[in-house]
Amino acid sequence: MEEWWRSAVIYQVYPRSYQDSTGNGIGDLAGITHRLDHIANLGVDCIWLSPIFASPQADMGYDVSDYLSVDPLFGDLAAFDKLITGAHAHGLKVIVDQVLSHTSEQHAWFKQSRRSRQNDRADWYVWADPQPDGSPPTNWHSHFGGPAWEFDPQRGQYYLHNFLASQPDLNFHNPDVVDAILDTCKFWLDRGLDGFRLDTVNYYFHDEKLRSNPPAQAAPQVMATDLYGMQNNIYNKTRPENLNFLERLRALTDQYEDIMMVGEVGEMGRRSIEIMGEYTQGTDRLHMAYSFAMLGPDFNAEHFRNCIEGFQEGAPDGHPYWSFSNHDVPRHVSRWGGYSVSEDAMARLACAMLMSFEGTIGIYQGEELGQTETELVFEELTDPPAIRYWPAVKGRDGCRTPMVWDANAANAGFSDSVPWLPVKPPQTANAVKQQPDDGIMAFYKSMIAFRKNSSVLSHGSTRFIALAEPLLAFTRTQGAEHITCVFNLSKDKHTISLIGAANIICGSSASIDSSILTLDGNGFAYLTHSDMAVI
Residues designated catalytic:
199, 264
Per the omega criterion (within 30 degrees of 0), is the bond before 132 cis? no
3-state class (DSSP) for residue 184: helix
Q: Assess contact for 442 and 469: CB atoms under 8 A.
A: no
Q: Assess contact for 495 and 468: CB atoms under 8 A.
A: no
Query: If we measure between CA atoms, which residue out of 209, 206, 208 comes closest to residue 234?
Result: 206
* 34-63: burial string, b at 16+ Cβ within 10 Å, e else: bbbebbbebbbbbbbbbbbbbbebbbbbbb
First to last CA, the chain: 35
Instruction: Classify residue 335 by its DSSP letter.
Output: H
Query: If we measure between CA atoms, which residue out of 179, 166, 143 comes closest to residue 55?
Result: 166
Q: Assess contact for 329 and 397: CB atoms under 8 A.
A: no
3-state class (DSSP) for residue 52: coil
Tell me the β-bridge partners of 15: none
Sheet order of strands, 149-152 included? 127-128, 157-160, 149-152
Q: Assess contact for 395 and 381: CB atoms under 8 A.
A: yes
Q: CB neighbours of 124 closer than 8 A, spacing ≥ 6?
A: 109, 110, 112, 113, 170, 171, 174, 176, 177
Query: If we measure between CA atoms, which residue out of 397, 349, 394 comes closest to residue 370?
Result: 349
DSSP 444-497: HHHHHHHHHT-HHHHH-EEEE----TTEEEEEEEETTEEEEEEEE-SSS-EEEE
- Element housing 93 (H / E): strand 93-98
